[in-house]
Structure 1
Amino acid sequence: MPVYMVAHSHIDAAWLWRLEETVEVCKDSFLKVLDLIDKHEAVKYVQSSILYYKWMQLKHPKIFEKIKKAIKDGKWEVVLPWVEFDTNIPLGESLVRQFLHAKIYCKDFLGVEPKVVWLPDTFGFAWTLPSIMAGFGLKYFLTQKLRWNDAVLYPFHYFIWEGPDGSRILAHQMVGDYGGFPSEEAIEKEIELIKNRQGLDVIYFIYGYGDHGGGIDEEMAEAVDRLASKGKAIPALPSKFFEKIEEIKDLPVWRNELYLQYHRGCLVTQAEFKRNHRIAEVKLLDAEKLATIAEWLGGKYPLNDLRSLWEELLTLQFHDIIAGSSIEEVYKDAGKTLSAINAKIREIMDSSIRAIVEKTPIDEDEIFVFNTLPWRRNAIIELSDKEIIVAESLPPLGYKIVEKTSGGRIGFKELDDRIMLGNEFFEAVISKETGSVISFKREGFEYINAKEGGVYVQILNDTPVWGRKALESGYDAILFDAWELFHLQQPNGVVKTCLLKPESIKVIAVKPNYARVKAVYKYRQEGREDSYFYITYSVYSGIPWLEMKFEIDWHAAHRVAKLYIPLSYYADKMVFDQPYGLIERRDPGSPNATLYDKAKWEVPGQMWVYAPALENRGLAVFDDGKYGYDFGGKYLRISLIRAARYPPPYEGDGDGDFTDQGRHVFRIGLYGKPAKSSMLDVVRRAYEFNFPPIVKMSIGKGYGQLPSEFSFVEVDGNVILTVLKRGEKEGYVLRLYEVEGKDQEVKINPHLPIKKAYKAKLDEEKVEQLSIENGWIKLKVKPHEIATIAML
């Protein structure tokens, strides 16, 4: 097979420069490219990030029209998604919207339907990405980032990537970089590599300037003309290249995540921004549900506002922004954007809630509580700092009018050396000497190893040091302070401080329905202001997890704080939440661990992680905005916060200030899975931890057309329903996914007069009409499937 070539200018939406600068980078890069593709027949160009096309349409319409002509002439190809996003940190629905919004724009304004997903520089890829891509009919995937592995070379350059649900896509891990000069020597080097590694002789050589754009230049274009005229290379846009690769028979199949053995610190850096982003995702999903229900009751659905909010949030998911590897000014801008997003979401939610409440028989002294999750649940309602109620048995995706009550079943006992907390689900013990959780039991099973100090915070030295390199690019990790973790590389071994000597520990509340204990710790680092950790342990009647609320005043430098959870049992594998799915990983220290397993010494997760024990039990740990974990067979650690240096700006030098300084607030939950439950139980509880109910007080008297309790959508089946929204073209859309790895028969009743329902692709294109009986939509869901229902 011959050599294929394409021009490309990798443009980071923000990194060592701000978003607003990138608009002009795009303009300048695209002008250069458009000029050269007119002059040189052999030059063909590919550009990702649909956001950039929208920028040109709005700010530089003449350039936009020239791009459209180049696309029509077959000289320029558009590839997805919205931006080159991080695939491990955003929730599953965010990944769906990255493609949905990109596809809508391409069809409406560019007249194309791209089939290629182009993520050359993203820091690793969730296993569910092929499932999501296939749900849109996307066939091809390209990256080069696995060249940056620091422990084991990724073995394939052309392969079939199979998702958990069996969906398959054709994937290309590039032999070379995503930019450079198109010389015969560079081409020959890549051909030699692919021959040695996979026994093939086909490469896709990408040339151009990257990161800060730059397009291509005349010298590159002339070199490509010479190569093409000699028959040394064939200019080919990505879709044509992948069509040729499809001709290769018996490609290997990869059934796992594409874990990047590098940039592991990006799961931790900019912790507060990551948490605020999680909150925005949650609220935006809630806002869509409420706005849909409000429209069912006669209100107006703010379709354009919600689309705009999604596009702003999707932009912040660009890999160098959400990963924490950009300059400080980027996060000042991003923080303001998140604040504006959340303010607009509140407006939409308030308007929708009013439209619902006014139809209920609520009295002025009653409380309106809306559960946005599609199963019955209990929930904590904090009316004030000192007044908390537990709203019991909230209806699925519906509301309940409740009164202020303080009844409950809390167990509390304080002894000389310990404080014992519990409710109808679990028993916990906190040491008065250390402030750590030294016991956590459910159904009589002990999950915590008290001999290892119990559950407490460790602070580890994270000073950059030389010695760990990316295997192919050759870059040493020391160059990437904000990207990398160094606590395992310290010259004298791991150096850690254990927060086991509290400044104080005291009981701050004991009520019939809740109890709280607060421990305060000081961390001292020479030459730095002291850091403080305030940890509040809370137990609530009717709530099955022990809540740990962290309030941190952080002033450390080159340190990483982790929550250490020693287990009373051995777990050879642990299960982690990932976008619209889950993944099982083996203990890197296990005698059964492969080299790939051993390289996973810091791994991504989302709302939960689960450590299986005996007899179908296990300990689950919930979070509301943490993403990095490390684990062994007898412990789990959650990365809470770190203090790296910001990278220097593009036109600057020297070290930046330290990241993550100041106040941080987040929650962790400890949960014992009952022996007679499945993974669905863990996932549902984690959603409850992350999706608090919507509460309204003092809202006046309602008209009473609806009852005092009502469910707008009921789900009968073992699935997680995540989305209720207006369809992009018509009707309404539900989205759900399967977590147990089993075939499921599901029934859904949306409690409105539906004429028809269809199983649809993720882009809402109808595939199969579903039966409806007495208002219940019936469908079959395959193991690990992400399913979409279109309702008319």
Structure 2
Amino acid sequence: MPYNLRNQKEVTEAMLRRTEEEIYQHLCPLTMEVYVTPEPVPFTERTSGERKIVKEGELWGKVWDCAWFHFTGTVPESAKGKKVILYIDVHGELCVFDENGVPVQGLTSGSSSMNPLCGSPKKREYVITECAAGGEKIDLWADAGCNDLFGVRPDVGMVEFAQISICRDNVKALYYDAYVLFDLMKETPEDSAKHQKLLRALFEASCQLWDYTDEEVEKARAVLAVELNKKGGDADLRFSATGHAHIDLAWLWPIRETKRKGARTFATALRNMEKDPDYVFGASQPQLYAWVKEEHPALYAQVKDRIKEGRWEAQGAMWVEADTNVSGGEALVRQILYGKRFFRQEFQKDMEVLWLPDVFGYSGALPQILKKSGVPYFLTIKLSWSRHNQHPHHTFLWQGIDGSEVLVHMPPEGEYNSMATPWAIKKAERIYLDKGVCDEAVMLFGIGDGGGGPGESHLEVLKREKDLKGLLPVTQGQAVDFFHRLEKGKDRYCTFKGELYLERHQGTYTTQARNKKYNRKMEILLREAEFAAAATGGVYDRTAFERIWKEVLLYQFHDILPGSSIKRVYDESLERYAALYEETEAMVQSAYGQGDYAINSLSWDRSGWLKKDGKWYQVTVPAMGSALLKDGTAAAETAAEDPSVLENDQVRVSFDADGSILSVYDKTQDCEVLSAPSNRFAVYYDDGDCWDMTETYRERAPRYFALTDAKAYVDGPMKKVIQQYAFGSSVLTQTISITDGSGQVRFDTEVDWKESQKMLRTAFYTNIETDEVSCDIQFGSIKRPARRNTSWDMAKFEICAHKYVDLSDCCHGVALLNDCKYGYCVENGMIDMNLLRSPNYPGEQADIAVHTFSYALYPHAGDLAHSDVRQKSYEYNIPLQFGGKVEQLVTVDNPNVIIESVKLAEDSDELVLRLYESRGVPAAASLRFGRPVEKAVLTDLMEEKERPVDLSAVSFGGFEIQTIKVKLKERKEPENAVSHRP
């Protein structure tokens, strides 16, 4: 008789289902009191909410409600001698607290919307006793969130289970024995001996089971133990597994819920460590640890103990897992500066790994920032999400725009939520691109994004897989130890140079434009405030600067700044941004004081027209100094006759009847800048979400705002045209202006945007023939394709840039400057800027609001490298300030060397200057300070490693960042003056 393999498999599958059902015996329901509040309240106020009595099947709250559950009951006498648990699922997130108000364990609904390929999220079991006497009283408090791991779902807030139950650990062990072997069987060829052996063992185990008595269960386990005890032997590849709970600090939930997710996740990890001595868990983001420390100090103390023990890995060099496309250069430095300092101060751990598994592309400036911060390693998985082209490596050396290198590993499974099952191990082995030169890879297992982390299922599976025949070995360990081993073979790894561009989520360069504008303005204002305090000798409040910076860094999290969170996140962040801006602006004004001086915080002299109190002044303000405003000319704005042309000594701008620009003629170069009518406000249909816009959106012809009015005015040296437009329910007002002595054409814009599922763009069609566009990024620039010849070019249909993009040939060029925009399409001489997007998911009404922004077209002689575009883009974003006289702090004799920031050192009263070479070629620069220098050293971005420097000849590689720490001689204070310096 032939073997009936199909029937054997069916019997085995049925056995797996039945075994899972036999693990628990539910005895009686718990009694539940619920105290509901709209926002979280602490343990000490747990009875302050609206009191309800609920039962299984009843709703206890609405979405985003918070509640304290009080579970009470009595263990039945029938449970005597048994392991008793509470089996609880309230279709929300729970955290059990002890009698002292300390988080003990998280509980998660089994019906969460987690991707099933990442494993079950359910954590329903809370142990009361390993051996019940019967009659034990249950009195338990748990903090609940009326939300799913992933925000909301239809049945959120309904109690599904709240039972006193018996848990049969031997049946549970049988289930995981069978589960692992069954999954391994599915991953082996059906005609292989291994497949047949596994199937037969599973079938024979099934045949032992009738009533699931303890004797039957042990017999079945004994059958399976034959296969589980077969060892793998020598392996060509190994996996280092680290438990992980990637926690988005905001996404489909508000920031306040993340604080509770952190407590639930950390408490659960600690409890699992008590149960499993092999378990190694890791968590990133100092901001998350800081919240836990603030709100749950006793829980935090337990975490510190586990970190000291080596069972818990503190991960990630940044304060938060930040976006690196839109965040500014100094902000990325501060992310690492504050992140590393936190982990050192709290845990005496020096972070060596940048931990960004889920960020939407990685700036080419990052390797240098990492290298000069003492972070030699980088982990991500996100490039596996690219749509069109596969990144060629999982393990490689990444070289930045300056030539700095870091070692990168991308877990080949492409997951930070691995199930850690045989299927996951086989998948990772199959697609690991560098397995020929690498002996090891990382696996990040657990439930993430919404937190939770590894559950019982992950750990039980891993126990059985350590050296199981048919699988590559899997050993739990810290990721940093893996990188130390990986580094030994770095001579064999390939090098990838430039940015790590993600071929997805390009809509995040634009979505939630107000947040992006505030981020840009806060980065600039903090720069100004730190310079003002340092340069004037006024109050330098380190505590305030650090507090403000850390909150700005929080909002650079990769689901906040990119625009991919729910509406509430932006309602709250915009309110906080406004308060932070007001506070920081007051610090600037306090430092500069009152007066008739123009103050320039940039590192080169600035000349031009300036208007103050109704008067125009033509000024030249020295680098990092001030100039007295004198010989001002009062000028009243007067109407001009012709709104179809603007002209000054450098440029002539002509308008069509529809308001678009027909011509921009550069008088200084005697050439026409444009090849076609430009600056039409195009509205594209956009049915994407907050992350992704349809790549073929241009295939559907756009509609345009219609001009309703245009008037021309003259205001002293400024000539301008004010245009008004309408589209549907939206209105747009734009002031196009030119100023004597300048070739910039400026566009100051206000839009009351009321369109849904639409995208607003403007384009300039230039006469420049070039294959590449130069884009401003952090601490330099990068060239990207301006043609669509290959799939790699096509994938870059939308690119990210900061203060400018530039098209140039050998003779002349055109730059588009901006004050808060990041998304561009550049192709065949066209520069198209993405102004607004209004998708509906996950943030409803994204960008439906009143927006103000500004951009400028700037024709120039020569290519980018030989132009002043970089300086003009800084001037466009960093206005001159007004106040009292400021003595010149420092000058730099090389125009390509830019001082990005001036601050007080973290641990002394010395000044720290951050400079970089902006052209991309080696350079030397001389620095001259306004006061005598007592001490000057080069240091790293952590302000620690010091080496001598000659200020008259500071050397730079192309795009190199240099950080200089100086001690200046004290100013001679007037008699009776009080110094405010710390």
| TM-score range relative to shorter protein | 0.7 to 0.9
Aligned to 2:279: 43
Q: Which amino acid aligns with 1:239?
A: V
- Equivalent residues in 2 for 1:20-59 (5 A)? 20-59=256-295
Q: Which residue, 687, 700, 713 being the options, matches 2:890?
A: 713
Question: Does the alignment pair 1:378 with 2:607?
Answer: yes
1: CA distance, partners of 2:617 / 2:739: 8
Question: Does the alignment pair 1:752 with 2:931?
Answer: yes
The answer on whether the counterparts of 1:390 and 1:542 sit within 8 Å (CA) in structure 2 is no
Q: CA deviation at 1:444?
A: 2.9
Q: Which amino acid aligns with 2:626?
A: Y
Aligned to 2:486: 245
2: CA distance, partners of 1:676 / 1:216: 54
Aligned to 2:726: 522
| 1:592-640 residue CA offsets vs partner (Å, 9 max, x unmatched) | x33212210001000000001342x110110000000001122110000
- Equivalent residues in 2 for 1:613-762 (5 A)? 613-615=809-811, 617-647=812-842, 657-675=844-862, 678-679=865-866, 681-696=868-883, 710-717=887-894, 718-730=896-908, 731-762=910-941
1: CA distance, partners of 2:840 / 2:419: 32
Aligned to 1:282: 524
The answer on whether the counterparts of 1:575 and 1:609 sit within 8 Å (CA) in structure 2 is yes
Q: CA deviation at 1:83?
A: 0.5
Aligned to 2:678: 454
Which SS does the other structure have where 1:257 is aligned? coil
Q: Which amino acid aligns with 2:674?
A: N
Question: Does the alignment pair 1:535 with 2:760?
Answer: no
Residues 750 and 273 (structure 1), Cα distance of their counterparts in 2 relative to 1, 3 Å cut: same
2: CA distance, partners of 1:447 / 1:323: 37
1: CA distance, partners of 2:350 / 2:274: 24
Which SS does the other structure have where 2:342 is aligned? helix
Aligned to 2:953: 778
2: CA distance, partners of 1:642 / 1:346: 29
Question: Does the alignment pair 1:599 with 2:795?
Answer: yes
Q: CA deviation at 1:307?
A: 0.8
Residues 506 and 413 (structure 1), Cα distance of their counterparts in 2 relative to 1, 3 Å cut: closer
Q: Which amino acid aligns with 2:721?
A: V
Q: CA deviation at 1:281?
A: 0.7
Which SS does the other structure have where 2:926 is aligned? strand
Residues 207 and 197 (structure 1), Cα distance of their counterparts in 2 relative to 1, 3 Å cut: same
1: CA distance, partners of 2:589 / 2:239: 58
- Equivalent residues in 2 for 1:494-573 (5 A)? 494-499=700-705, 501-507=706-712, 509-524=713-728, 530-573=729-772
2: CA distance, partners of 1:344 / 1:439: 41
Aligned to 1:83: 320
Q: CA deviation at 1:228?
A: 2.6
Question: Does the alignment pair 1:399 with 2:626?
Answer: yes
Q: Which amino acid aligns with 2:793?
A: D
Question: Does the alignment pair 1:788 with 2:963?
Answer: yes
Q: Which residue, 388, 391, 408 being the options, matches 1:154?
A: 391
Q: CA deviation at 1:70?
A: 1.1
Aligned to 1:227: 465
Residues 312 and 447 (structure 1), Cα distance of their counterparts in 2 relative to 1, 3 Å cut: farther
1: CA distance, partners of 2:307 / 2:866: 47
The answer on whether the counterparts of 2:238 and 2:474 sit within 8 Å (CA) in structure 1 is yes
Q: Which residue, 691, 697, 701 being the options, matches 1:483?
A: 691
Q: Report the RMSD for the aligned CA atoms in angstroms.
A: 2.3
Q: Which amino acid aligns with 2:381?
A: Q
Question: Does the alignment pair 1:317 with 2:556?
Answer: yes
Q: Which moved more, 1:99-108 or 1:619-628?
A: 99-108
2: CA distance, partners of 1:716 / 1:285: 21
| 1:446-501 residue CA offsets vs partner (Å, 9 max, x unmatched) | 35335x3233221111124xxxxxxxxxxxxxxxx1111126258xx3220134x4
Q: Which amino acid aligns with 1:274?
A: K
Q: CA deviation at 1:791?
A: 1.0
The answer on whether the counterparts of 1:438 and 1:455 sit within 8 Å (CA) in structure 2 is no
Q: Which amino acid aligns with 1:716?
A: D
2: CA distance, partners of 1:195 / 1:544: 51
Which SS does the other structure have where 2:492 is aligned? coil
Which SS does the other structure have where 2:933 is aligned? coil
1: CA distance, partners of 2:696 / 2:738: 35
Aligned to 2:188: none
| 1:169-198 residue CA offsets vs partner (Å, 9 max, x unmatched) | 000122120013111221011101116886
Q: Which amino acid aligns with 1:3?
A: F
Q: Which amino acid aligns with 1:790?
A: K
Q: Which amino acid aligns with 2:463?
A: D
Q: Which residue, 215, 238, 241 being the options, matches 1:2?
A: 238
| 1:371-417 residue CA offsets vs partner (Å, 9 max, x unmatched) | 11111112553436xx3624421111111120362399x9x9966x8
Which SS does the other structure have where 2:447 is aligned? coil
Q: Which moved more, 1:269-278 or 1:675-684?
A: 675-684
Which SS does the other structure have where 1:771 is aligned? coil
Residues 160 and 138 (structure 1), Cα distance of their counterparts in 2 relative to 1, 3 Å cut: same
The answer on whether the counterparts of 1:437 and 1:456 sit within 8 Å (CA) in structure 2 is no
Q: CA deviation at 1:676?
A: 8.5
| 1:723-745 residue CA offsets vs partner (Å, 9 max, x unmatched) | 11100011110001112122211
Q: CA deviation at 1:153?
A: 1.2
Q: Which amino acid aligns with 2:256?
A: E
Q: Which residue, 768, 776, 788 being the options, matches 1:577?
A: 776
Question: Does the alignment pair 1:443 with 2:635?
Answer: no
Aligned to 1:705: none
Which SS does the other structure have where 1:321 is aligned? coil
Q: Which amino acid aligns with 2:945?
A: K
| 1:337-377 residue CA offsets vs partner (Å, 9 max, x unmatched) | 111211110221122112xx5xxxx6xxxx22111111111
2: CA distance, partners of 1:8 / 1:602: 32
Q: Which amino acid aligns with 2:485?
A: K
Q: CA deviation at 1:712?
A: 1.9
2: CA distance, partners of 1:790 / 1:312: 26
Q: Which moved more, 1:427-436 or 1:744-753?
A: 427-436
The answer on whether the counterparts of 1:442 and 1:674 sit within 8 Å (CA) in structure 2 is no
Identical-pair percentage: 28
Aligned to 2:648: 422
The answer on whether the counterparts of 2:308 and 2:347 sit within 8 Å (CA) in structure 1 is no
Aligned to 1:478: none
Which SS does the other structure have where 2:493 is aligned? coil
2: CA distance, partners of 1:319 / 1:381: 38
Q: Which moved more, 1:532-541 or 1:26-35?
A: 532-541
Higher CA-based Rg = 2
Q: Which amino acid aligns with 1:214?
A: G
Aligned to 1:474: none
Q: Which amino acid aligns with 1:309?
A: I
Unmatched tracts of structure 1, length 5 or more: 465-480, 525-529, 648-655, 697-701, 703-707
Length-normalised TM-score, structure 2: 0.71
Aligned to 2:513: 271
Q: Which amino acid aligns with 2:592?
A: I
2: CA distance, partners of 1:709 / 1:543: 27
Which SS does the other structure have where 2:432 is aligned? helix
2: CA distance, partners of 1:270 / 1:261: 20
Q: Which amino acid aligns with 1:715?
A: V
Q: Which amino acid aligns with 1:714?
A: T
The answer on whether the counterparts of 1:43 and 1:224 sit within 8 Å (CA) in structure 2 is no
Residues 518 and 159 (structure 1), Cα distance of their counterparts in 2 relative to 1, 3 Å cut: same
Question: Does the alignment pair 1:211 with 2:449?
Answer: yes
Aligned to 2:597: 368
Q: Which amino acid aligns with 1:664?
A: H
Aligned to 1:262: 504
2: CA distance, partners of 1:426 / 1:407: 25
Q: CA deviation at 1:722?
A: 1.1
2: CA distance, partners of 1:388 / 1:642: 38
Which SS does the other structure have where 2:306 is aligned? helix
